[in-house]
Amino acid sequence: MTPTRAALPVASAFGVDIGGSGIKGAPVDLATGRLAKGRERIATPQPATPAAVAATVAELLGRFEVPEGTPVGVTFPAVVHHGVARSAANVDSSWIGTSIEDVVGSALGRPVHAVNDADAAGYAEVRYGAAAGTRGVVLVVTLGTGIGTALIADGRLVPSFELGHLEIDGVDAETRASSAAREREGLSWQEWAERLQRYFGVLEDLLSPDLFVVGGGVSKQADQFLPLLDLRAPIVPARLRNAAGIVGAAALAARAAGKAVTA
């Protein structure tokens, strides 16, 4: 790949993945997209208010030596518009309107770059994982408590595509097709796949992606449900598994800081 900026000697960044049940983080080697050290995890405080979450991120970072100037990225499971949380489908509603970058940045005493969790995972899959090298439109869909989506066109992330909340058959898609919906309703793989077929079929009709990548914890069991889907585009499991959020957050923070080694 062609460097878009002069590569700086700093080739690592720190990623933090803020989720509903855990906050995970690790330094990331930006050349390979691998974790440079084993990740640490701390349970998400409840209630997950901005101050409590920020303090937990600070505790987590405190477990590593993170040299000054290292880009730090955090994911957040909601709409993140220029660092500010704009929705709260599955997080404490006090986040709406809060600048994640300000709250977490002041707890850490260093600048922080905040991005949507699916955007981070999607960027990581395109840069280092299942969609590496794919030209055209890649749609990464994370199936978890909610449904997160990331749209990447020719390697460029188009942020904040909230396609998990498409209204399909009169309901918010994630309430029927998320992994949590499968567990909540005790659906068989076949029953869940029928809902996924409807969901991915609508996505395909709207966006005609060249590739679908499916992430989220359930992607470990992709062979149980992906073969049941019938779509025009190939659909493959994510490759970075539970590191995708950390890796994407770190890579996007480095890119924002102008330290990305490649585009």
According to DSSP, the β-strands at 22-29 and 40-43 are antiparallel
First to last CA, the chain: 8
142 three-state secondary structure: strand
- Cα 136 to Cα 117, 139, 209, 233: the distances in Å are 22, 10, 8, 12
Quote the least distance from Cβ 53 to ligand BGC, whole Å. Answer: 14
Q: CA 121, CA 101: separation in Å to the nearest integer?
A: 19
Question: Which of 106, 102, 85 is CA-nearest to residue 94?
Answer: 85
Give the nearer residue to ligand BGC in terms of CB position, either 48 or 66.
48
Residues that bind ligand BGC (CB under 6 A): 77-79, 87, 89-90, 116-118, 142, 144, 146, 148, 162, 164-165, 174
Quote the least distance from Cβ 167 to ligand BGC, whole Å. Answer: 13
Q: CA 249, CA 117: separation in Å to the nearest integer?
A: 8
Give the nearer residue to ligand BGC in terms of CB position, either 70 or 142.
142
Quote the least distance from Cβ 95 to ligand BGC, whole Å. Answer: 11
Give the nearer residue to ligand BGC in terms of CB position, either 146 or 248.
146
Give the nearer residue to ligand BGC in terms of CB position, either 56 or 87.
87
Quote the least distance from Cβ 217 to ligand BGC, whole Å. Answer: 12
According to DSSP, the β-strands at 40-43 and 235-237 are unpaired
Quote the least distance from Cβ 126 to ligand BGC, whole Å. Answer: 16
Give the nearer residue to ligand BGC in terms of CB position, either 27 or 216.
216
Q: CA 1, CA 244: separation in Å to the nearest integer?
A: 21
